[in-house]
Amino acid sequence: MLPVIYSDEFLEHKTGYLHPEKPERLSAITTALKAAEFASQIEWRSPTPVDKRLLMPLLLEVHTENYIQKVQEIASSGGGFLDTDTAVSPRSYDVALLAVSAWLDGVDAVLETGNPAFVMARPPGHHAEKDYGMGFCLFANAAIAALGALTQPGINRVAILDWDVHHGNGTQAIVETNSQIAYCSLHQYPCYPGTGKISERGFHNNILNLPMPPGSDIGIYQPVFEKKVVPFLADFQPDLLIVSAGYDANAADPLAMINLQPQDYGLFTDYCLGVTRKILFGLEGGYDLEALSRSVVATIERCLV
């Protein structure tokens, strides 16, 4: 059984008409997973309610108090925007906190079973910086999950692999000073947000950025995984691997120009499983509904082999 952490409350983060990061993303994935041949092997779990978990101390390790209050105030005043792309609706603050809780539940599930789990939450998080949100992201889910994991017994090193088509500037900025966390990102370059140069190595040689040229397909990605991603992750010897699982590098995706296919994410998953079975996959981007849902199916299917 593979745990999938999900709640219909994640649909209550409303981003507005024609916004690509829309609730239908989760609905499409849910439909696809329930129709998959392995549907009986999925264990659907609800995230721990925010009032049942002490979230704020961990959140304050990553984000400033002023920023957290700003998101809360925009939501409570009826909604607005953090920037031109990043919407906050009346429920967004509560939903974003629940997303953080879900990622922490995902960590717990992996450590409990020694096998992968998938967090199907929104809003995404890898662009969220310490003191501002951007790129559809409110709170830095992956970075918070990594720091939360390090408080658990026996967890001394956490690696984050970010295969979203956009560089996770927020995640990198938060973890690059922490010798217990390694971060590896494959991302289209040039592309939003313009960060993620190969020369950025972190304070402890713990960052590996792999900019991919527009038009790259699996023939270009596969040797990069084999020669760079896997050795970097394996050398770090993580006690837990967190995957910022964005699916916007698909050829069908409207927001970038990488030419992967949904089944390619199954191959990426195989590479990760070769490093460790203790993997938390957490949803980031992916905006073509069919390609997104098929890619998540491919990811989970490989975990069940």
Alpha carbon separation from 218 to 65, 175, 225 (Å, rounded):
42, 28, 10
Q: What is the pLDDT of residue 245?
A: 98
Respond yes or no on whether the N-terminal peptide bond of residue 262 is cis (omega within 30° of 0): no
Domains annotated for the chain, with CATH where assigned, are 2-303 (3.40.800.20)
Q: How far is CA 144 from the centre of its chain?
A: 11
Nearest alpha carbon to residue 135 among 123, 120, 143: 123
Amino acid identity, position 51: D
Q: Which residues are catalytic?
A: 127
Three-state DSSP class for residue 226: helix
Reported as a single tens digit per residue, the pLDDT across 117-140 is 999 999 999 999 999 999 999 999
Q: Give the mean model confidence (pLDDT) for residues 223-230.
A: 98
Nearest alpha carbon to residue 267 among 205, 207, 210, 224: 224
With a pLDDT cut of 90, the percent of the chain lying above it is: 99
Q: What is the pLDDT of residue 305?
A: 86
Reported as a single tens digit per residue, the pLDDT across 173-224 is 999 999 999 999 999 999 999 999 999 999 999 999 999 999 999 999 999 9
